[in-house]
A and B are shown apart, each in its own frame.
Chain A
Amino acid sequence: MTVVALDDKRREAAIWDLLEEVPDPEVPALSIRDLGVVRDVRVAENGAVRLAVTPTYSGCPATAAINLSIRDRLLRAGYDNVAIDTVLAPAWTTDWISDEGKRKLRDYGIAPPVGKAADEGAGRGTLFGADPDVPCPHCGSAATEKVSEFGSTACKAQYRCMDCLEPFEYFKCI
């Protein structure tokens, strides 16, 4: 490996590039870098990698799979000394999904989070708060309605489009 010859920034950038190639196990269109779960990357001169990864939801079954995929990808690139720290604070928010990630979600047929998690009315789960206006990822129509607060995973809700009649999932603001 040539990693030892690189300076800190370039060594870290090389890891970030590899993380771009690690798909989210449940939404493979998205990389875990797009998802914003990797909070810190450190690479020592000897090539030892230390990552800080935060879970999306407390009970997300993908968390273990994500860590395994990271190790697998880095190992295949020659990094055989990888430590992954799980960090809980600050808690993951959909605000950390990159713009590129949001575009990929939409292309994949999942409506990306509308607004910021901190905003009232962004559907942040306030009991009497209004639902956000979620445009259909298929036809772009604003005429959509919520079918269920939870979708195939805890992070998504189920919607349907009243114009193209397609069902779709919405990645909830959290």
Chain B
Amino acid sequence: MTTATDIDRKSLTEYLLRLGDTSLILGHRLSEWCGHGPVLEEDIAMSNIALDLIGQARLLYTYAGTVEGEGRDEDDFAFKRDVTDWKNLLLAEQPNGDFAATMVRQFLIDCFNVELYTSLSKSTDTELAAIAAKSLKEVTYHRRHSGEWIIRMGDGTDESHRRVQRALDDHWIFVDELFETDALDAAIVAAGIGPDLKSLRPAWDSMVDRVLAEATLTRPQTDFPRSGGRTGSHSEYLGFILSDLQFMQRAYPGMEW
């Protein structure tokens, strides 16, 4: 395995955690639908997509533990960090709401993931490139699934159109964060490990606009974009997710089964 050497371990670990955290939290949110889906097929679909995302998180966490070199494994990252240590996108932790809200959240991130993993599959870091190439195959199917639902609901009944438009309006304040960059991203770009996130926006815009047009939905505007997830400033929701996700390890530290 070749790891790019012109970046320090701490930065690369942090970058991998940002990626893994978004996957795990989004996967956890989808898993909350298990047994509650609007129809059996969607219950199964959301659980399967959750599995893909949680699987991607495991690969990223395992690699982060190797890079960090302090003996932490996937479970340490998932179960033994508190809210401010989590670096996921705020969009991923937003509540499921109704099915339209879940599909909008999913679609916005799926479109981002397709561009992100396309780019990361060419990373100079061969392990990350391998994880990305594998994940890309999966997220293209996720996007196909969520994109079709956006079209079906947007161009559906008055009620489904109203709900999906409302979900879009509600979630749009979290979109800018997807493409936000800081000093860590600059170091990642300089080392050839990952893309300049801003450069992913035109392709994302173009896919989202195309689907919204087909779905007869209106692209929202926002004057108050929210961000902070990638540096550990979260909405109130993450703490509740962690209290569920981490309960067993918190109540019975070190338990295994």
Contacts and interface: CB of A to CB of B under 8 A. Distances in A.
Nearest to A146: B148
Interface in B161-178: none
Interface stretch (A21-29, A37-45, A58-66, A106-114): A58-66
B58 interface: yes
A91 interface: yes
B134 A88 contact: yes
Interface stretch (A7-15, A74-82, A123-131): A123-131
Interface string B37-59: 00001101100111111111011
Contacts of A128: 210
Contacts of B129: 89
Contacts of B48: 150, 153-154
A89 B63 CA distance: 14
A35 to B, nearest CB: 16
Contact of B55 (A57, A93, A150): A57
A172 to B, nearest CB: 7
Contacts of B96: none
B134 A91 contact: yes
- Interface size bucket, B side? 35 or more
B130 interface: yes
Interface stretch (B72-80, B138-146, B184-192, B217-225): B138-146
Given A57-B52, A59-B51, A91-B133, A149 B58 contact: no
Contact of A60 (B42, B51, B133, B140): B51
B58 A58 contact: yes
A158 interface: yes
B34 interface: no
Interface residues of A, number: 30
Interface in B1-33: 27
B144 A150 contact: no
B155 to A, nearest CB: 14
B198 interface: no
A127 B45 contact: no
B54 A59 contact: yes
A174 interface: yes
Given A88-B59, A150-B45, A127 B143 contact: yes
Contacts of A153: 48
Nearest to B137: A174
B144 A154 contact: no
A123 to B, nearest CB: 9
Contacts of A152: 44
B242 interface: no
A149 B148 contact: yes
A61 B51 contact: yes
A58 B56 contact: yes
Interface string A132-168: 0000000000000001111111100010000000000
A149 B134 contact: no
Contacts of A149: 45, 141, 144-145, 148
A129 B56 CA distance: 25
A58 B41 contact: no
A-B residue pairs, 3 tightest by C-beta: A59-B55, A58-B55, A125-B140
7 contacts: A59-B55, A93-B137, A150-B45, A150-B48, A150-B141, A154-B48, A174-B141
Given A57-B51, A149-B141, 10 more contacts: A55-B55, A55-B134, A59-B27, A59-B50, A88-B130, A147-B41, A150-B41, A154-B49, A154-B141, A158-B41
